[in-house]
Amino acid sequence: MISSSKLKSVDFYRKIPRDLTEASLSGAGLSIIAALSMVFLFGMELNDYMTVSTSTSVVVDRSPDGEFLRIDFNLSFPSLSCEFASVDVSDILGTNRLNITKTVRKFSIDPNLRPTGSEFHPGPIPMVSKHGDDFEEVEGDGSVSVTLASFDQYSHQYDIFVVNFYAPWHHIQGYPSIRIFRKGSDVREDGGHHEHESYYGERDTDSLVSAMETLVASIPKVSHELALEDKSKQQINAVNALLHQQVDVE
């Protein structure tokens, strides 16, 4: 067997006996500084490890305009009609897109989450207008009650037609939708996306009047002049018809 003395002979880190060493004041100070430095560094590293940090970076989007991020999702609402289910998209830059319908597919389901019919396609309600139907223009405060039979006529009659969809018994006045129709349609295209043009401002009188004045100001004056010309021509034709009738009677 190899003795312990032979093993000690190959030691590369031999210690000097304490009796042969001498302590000094400078060495003690340096030792204290080194110990404090190690404790400080250990505390700082531990604090940095335990602290939650948030970093934010802004990256310029260099993707083409026609390139979009595809998001696949599957949500089931057994007690909600497809008509009222909508998807809103917002990003970190503050861009909001409401009621995304172009690439969202909806299917009716039963209480067991099984499809019960074909894909739901929202669209305008078809109207059948008969020849000779007239709708009298209502004078007053500017608002009229729109019915299923008169909606199509009114929406195409005016350049801008604002409709307030609400229930008279509902006590929340800010929840109903105020849609803006232009030439019979409220669908607006924004960068290839279709969305319904709506009013999202305050519901007090001043805000509503200001918003309506802004909408009316965007209508070209040519349309007003043409409308006045049409009305004047109709009045002239009516007067001429009365004169012809009086001449025939005489």
Q: How many Å apart are CA 129 and CA 152, to the nearest integer?
A: 9
Reference 182, options 197, 164, 199; nearest CA is 197
> How many CB atoms neighbour CB 68 within 10 A?
11
The reply to whether 207 falls in a domain is yes
Q: Quick one: what percent of the chain has pLDDT higher than 90? A: 10
Task: Count structural domains, the chain.
Answer: 3
The reply to whether 13 falls in a domain is no
The reply to whether 187 falls in a domain is yes
- Predicted pLDDT of residue 33: 96
Top-confidence residue, 19 or 122: 19
The reply to whether 41 falls in a domain is no
The residue length of the chain stands at: 250
Residues 214 and 229 in one domain: no
Q: How many Å apart are CA 43 and CA 140, to the nearest integer?
A: 78
The last residue of a domain, from among 98, 120, 142: 120
Q: State which of 11-15, 41-45, 132-136 shows the largest mean pLDDT.
A: 41-45
Range of the structural domain that residue 174 is part of: 151-219
- Predicted pLDDT of residue 29: 92
Residues 207 and 182 in one domain: yes
Contacts of 208 by beta carbon, 8 Å cutoff, 6+ apart: 199, 201, 202
pLDDT, average across residues 122-140? 52
- Predicted pLDDT of residue 1: 61
Q: 247 pLDDT band (50/70/90 cuts)? A: very low
Residues 210 and 234 in one domain: no
Which residues lie across from 194 on neighbouring strands? 189
Residues 191 and 233 in one domain: no
> Per-residue DSSP letters for 140-180?
SSS-----TTTHHHHHHHSSEEEEEE--TT-S-SSSSEEEE
Residues 225 and 211 in one domain: no
Residues 229 and 215 in one domain: no
Q: 243 pLDDT band (50/70/90 cuts)? A: very low
The reply to whether 1 falls in a domain is no
Q: State which of 36-45, 65-74, 120-129, 168-177 shows the largest mean pLDDT.
A: 36-45
Residue 171 has pLDDT above 60, yes or no: no
- Predicted pLDDT of residue 80: 83
Residues 157 and 187 in one domain: yes
Lowest mean pLDDT among 16-25, 49-58, 234-243: 234-243
The reply to whether 144 falls in a domain is no
Residues 233 and 182 in one domain: no
- Predicted pLDDT of residue 249: 39
The reply to whether 45 falls in a domain is no
Q: How many Å apart are CA 175 and CA 166, to the nearest integer?
A: 8
Residues 214 and 164 in one domain: yes
Q: Are 192 and 216 in contact (CB under 8 A)?
A: no
Residues 210 and 235 in one domain: no
Residues 176 and 207 in one domain: yes
The reply to whether 211 falls in a domain is yes
Give per-residue pLDDT as tens, 58-105. Answer: 888 777 766 777 788 888 888 888 878 888 888 777 888 887 777 788
Give per-residue pLDDT as tens, 204-235. Answer: 788 888 888 888 777 766 544 545 555 555 55
